Amino acid sequence: MKATARAHTNIALIKYWGKRNESLILPANSNLSVTLDGFSTETTVHFQEHLTEDSFILNEQSAEEDARTKIAVFLDKVRALSGKEIYAQVQSVNHVPTAAGFASSASGLAALAAASTKAIGLSLEDRELSRLARQGSGSASRSIYGGFVEWQMGEREDGLDSYAIQVADASHWNIRIAAVVLSKTVKKVSSREGMRRTIDTSPFYAGWLEQTAKDLQEIKQAIADKDFEKMGSVTEANCLRMHATTLGANPPFTYWQDNTMRVMQTVQGLREQGIPAFFTIDAGPNVKVLYLPEDEDKIKTRLNAVEGVEDIIISKPGSGISYM
């Protein structure tokens, strides 16, 4: 009853921001991401009869209480699905090229979903795995697949139609995504708390929801057409609108730091010089930059020169779940 799986993290081009059901993790809007080959989590789950509780080792160290609880709550769902009352040792390693706060719940929960269901003897289709991973962390539903992935919000209140599907595989489009690591990062409002506060209190939230449905249609067309300018500009605008909702929340907050702004302005400056580059930002200060392979040298040189930039990690569209 032991299995190992690897999942890559993903970056949303159209953001998931707000839940319509908190306990089942049902999103308020459909959203879309690209899976990144540069960041992954490898997880081994070993169910054993003699264990009396779940344990969790992360990067060779006993994980903190919060993380252990999240794992145990998720494994309860796997036990319920399989009908087996048995506990597990879980070991995870995050393969992140630098220790700069890029570890992700998306790759973590996707790898856990895959390894735990295989170890307990369930054989789930990707769609079922995505639906299960979703209940650990929303963005994990997308990391089951490689390439360009849409998480369809669904309509049902039981969540059965809320899962991700692949829109285009990793070989469809040879784009690059640079993760820009910033030097000082302050403690952030978690994405869970941030989206809750925004949906509950921000008057801008309704406008965000209305526009994001249109953005999703446009970006799917841009991906199909491999129209980089279109894809990039929709991505950047969607990111800015998501972040605008946080400024309207009560109490207001932002994930941006001075470094974040400097990188954003550099990317806009690159465009003014005719180099197509676009940014997106999740629930933290770090920036991801989308560009085409032929511009790599210029992009790296310019980003490296920005004050506060510590490292740049380059990804291509990556693959979905794999088993070791």
**What are the residues binding ligand DP6 (CB under 6 A)?**
12, 15-16, 25, 31, 105, 137-139, 191-192, 282-283
| Phi, psi dihedrals of residue 96, rounded to the nearest 5° | -125, 125
Beta-carbon contacts of residue 297 (< 8 Å; ≥ 6 apart): none
Asked whether the bond before 203 is cis by omega within 30 degrees of 0, the reply is no
Beta carbon of residue 277, minimum distance to ligand DP6 (angstroms, whole number): 20
Task: Return the number of the residue (72 or 292) whose C-beta is nearest ligand DP6.
Answer: 72
Task: Return the number of the residue (27 or 232) whose C-beta is nearest ligand DP6.
Answer: 27
Beta-carbon contacts of residue 201 (< 8 Å; ≥ 6 apart): 248, 249, 250
Sign of CA dihedral 85, 127, 218, 24: negative
Beta carbon of residue 243, minimum distance to ligand DP6 (angstroms, whole number): 9
Beta carbon of residue 139, minimum distance to ligand DP6 (angstroms, whole number): 3
Task: Return the number of the residue (12 or 182) whose C-beta is nearest ligand DP6.
Answer: 12
SS3 letters for 49-74?
CCCCCCEEEECCEECCHHHHHHHHHH
Structure tokens at 237: 């605008």
Task: Return the number of the residue (216 or 270) whose C-beta is nearest ligand DP6.
Answer: 216
Task: Return the number of the residue (32 or 267) whose C-beta is nearest ligand DP6.
Answer: 32
Beta carbon of residue 28, minimum distance to ligand DP6 (angstroms, whole number): 11
Which of 246, 239, 245 is CA-nearest to residue 264?
A: 239
Beta carbon of residue 207, minimum distance to ligand DP6 (angstroms, whole number): 17
